[in-house]
């Protein structure tokens, strides 16, 4: 029996000719990631275990992005602890205020992950890098510590689910709509501990930002990872950027999949996930014009804070104003994205519309800061989770959507089809 893309990467890093679903392996790591919340726990485990050095100071990344710039004393102490560790062990990929960005946008941008990489990160959305043809997955802080010490990790080889994407998406359909549609179809446990592998002729219509968004939210379907094959779009992004040795893996023709879904992208409509699970997906056609009035719109996060996301939002907001009573927060995912948006005049568009623009941070996504919701408030957001209390009070509500839908909704004050804005 042949192997999937994920299985081939795992086999190569384990030094094996082949692996099969359910097999336990030990594999060498190309990157170990932590942030300002998870790294301190890993550092404590590292120190308690008596470790004297890291396995490779170029293959560890620590990104201060969740509560940075520090929101309170505890956040400041966490960052200070990581900063001391990074200095002590000369961690080359330490990113703090001025250099940092949201980790899952920053690592691909910096060329720290790429085709054929095996990466673990103490953050569940580490699965993002599968967009580049890598195997990447989230782990706990203890596994992060073990990875920093040994450069290895244990894996149970996942089985796979295949998603064949066909057709050309209509205007305003982005990667966010694709993944919300999929999660709505299979549920939040529809790919539990499986590899979500994407293929099909529809891939050529999905840019790298779309793919990063889709892979990012594989975890919202319970998946171990999401992964795309390497093609010309991947190569255009990674060539000259990825600092490692790119290796391309393709699934064998006889690779085994537990299920296969064919999705015609041309039939998708802008999609919104209603509270309190990403699987509660509805198209804009299923939402009444005044059904869901919002108090806040957030455009950013590791899912949708990249330059094409900001362009999509700015296109709708240009020459318009944020509705009275709505707070609109725009968060570029990295300093580079921030600069590019500035050069293109996007930030001016947002500010003139009545939005605010933040330094790169995860902030509001996890209910940290920069956009906490009060009791009874509703937010439409381009983030990736809408659990109870995710962005604030347990009686607030979070609606997940694309940048186009979030921008259109910010302008009207209620969840809106972006196409309707253009017709006004």
Average pLDDT estimate for 373-402: 95
Q: What is the pLDDT of residue 290?
A: 61
Residue keyed to tokens 């990074």: 86
Q: What is the pLDDT of residue 1?
A: 75
Give the phi and the psi of residue 95 in degrees, each rounded to 5: -125, 120
Note whether 422 and 301 are within 8 A (CB).
no
pLDDT category of residue 423 using cuts at 50, 70 and 90:
low
Give 328's strand partners. 297
Average pLDDT estimate for 47-74: 95
Q: How many residues does the chain have?
A: 424
Average pLDDT estimate for 250-270: 95
pLDDT category of residue 18 using cuts at 50, 70 and 90:
very high
Average pLDDT estimate for 251-271: 96
Average pLDDT estimate for 41-64: 96
Rounded Cα distance between 320 and 327, Å, is 14
pLDDT tens for 412-421 read: 999 999 998 8
pLDDT tens for 203-237 read: 999 999 999 999 999 999 999 999 999 999 999 99
Average pLDDT estimate for 94-113: 95
Q: Is the predicted pLDDT of residue 189 greater than 60, yes or no?
A: yes
Average pLDDT estimate for 43-57: 95
Structural domains in the chain, sorted by start: 5-263 (3.30.499.10), 272-423 (3.30.499.10)
When comparing pLDDT for 420 and 142, which is higher? 142
Q: Is the predicted pLDDT of residue 387 greater than 60, yes or no?
A: yes
Rounded Cα distance between 259 and 298, Å, is 35
Q: Is the predicted pLDDT of residue 424 greater than 50, yes or no?
A: no
Average pLDDT estimate for 390-410: 96
Residue keyed to tokens 């089985």: 159
Average pLDDT estimate for 82-91: 97
Q: What would the two tokens of residue 344 be?
A: 């293109």
Average pLDDT estimate for 49-69: 95
pLDDT category of residue 291 using cuts at 50, 70 and 90:
confident
Note whether 143 and 122 are within 8 A (CB).
yes
The percent of residues in the chain predicted with pLDDT above 90, rounded, is 95
Give the phi and the psi of residue 179 in degrees, each rounded to 5: -70, -35
Q: What is the pLDDT of residue 107?
A: 97
Q: What would the two tokens of residue 416 be?
A: 């809106």
Q: What is the pLDDT of residue 251?
A: 95
Rounded Cα distance between 421 and 424, Å, is 5
pLDDT category of residue 46 using cuts at 50, 70 and 90:
very high
pLDDT tens for 336-374 read: 999 999 999 999 999 999 999 999 999 998 899 999 999
Q: Is the predicted pLDDT of residue 288 greater than 80, yes or no?
A: no
Q: What is the pLDDT of residue 289?
A: 64
């Amino acid at each position: 029996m042949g192997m999937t893309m994920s299985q081939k990467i795992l086999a190569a890093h384990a030094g094996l000719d082949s692996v099969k679903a359910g097999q336990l392996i030990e594999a060498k790591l190309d990157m170990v990631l932590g942030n300002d919340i998870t790294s301190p726990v890993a550092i404590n485990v590292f120190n308690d275990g008596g470790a004297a050095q890291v396995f490779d100071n170029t293959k560890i990344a620590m990104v201060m992005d969740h509560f940075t710039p520090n929101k309170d004393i505890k956040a400041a102490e966490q960052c200070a602890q990581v900063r001391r560790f990074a200095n002590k062990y000369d961690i080359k990929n330490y990113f703090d205020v001025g250099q940092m960005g949201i980790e899952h946008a920053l690592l691909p941008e910096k060329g720290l992950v790429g085709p054929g990489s095996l990466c673990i990160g103490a953050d569940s959305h580490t699965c993002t890098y599968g967009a580049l043809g890598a195997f990447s997955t989230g782990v706990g802080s203890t596994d992060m510590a073990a990875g920093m010490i040994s450069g290895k990790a244990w894996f149970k080889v996942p089985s796979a689910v295949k998603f064949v994407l066909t057709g050309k998406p209509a205007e305003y359909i982005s990667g966010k709509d694709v993944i919300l549609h999929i999660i709505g179809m299979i549920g939040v446990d529809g790919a539990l501990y499986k590899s979500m592998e994407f293929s099909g002729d529809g891939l050529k219509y999905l840019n790298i930002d779309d793919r990063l968004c889709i892979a990012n939210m594989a975890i919202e379907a319970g998946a171990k990872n999401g992964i795309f094959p390497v093609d010309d779009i991947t190569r255009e992004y990674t060539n000259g950027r990825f600092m490692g040795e790119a290796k391309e893996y393709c699934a064998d023709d006889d690779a085994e999949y537990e299920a296969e879904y064919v999705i015609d992208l041309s039939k998708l409509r802008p999609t919104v996930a209603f509270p309190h699970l990403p699987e509660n997906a509805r198209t804009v056609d299923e939402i009444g014009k005044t059904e869901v009035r919002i108090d806040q719109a957030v455009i950013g996060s590791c899912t949708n804070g990249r330059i094409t996301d900001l362009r999509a939002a700015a296109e709708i907001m240009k020459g318009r104003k944020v509705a009275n009573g709505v707070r609109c927060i725009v968060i570029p995912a990295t300093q580079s994205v921030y600069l590019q948006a500035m050069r293109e005049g996007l930030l001016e568009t947002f500010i003139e519309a009545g939005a605010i623009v933040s330094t790169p941070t995860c902030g509001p996504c996890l209910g940290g800061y920069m956009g906490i919701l009060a009791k009874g408030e509703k937010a439409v957001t381009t983030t990736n989770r809408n659990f109870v209390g995710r962005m604030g009070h347990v009686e607030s509500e979070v609606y997940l959507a694309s940048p186009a839908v979030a921008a259109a909704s910010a302008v009207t004050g209620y969840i809106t089809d972006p196409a309707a804005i253009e017709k006004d």
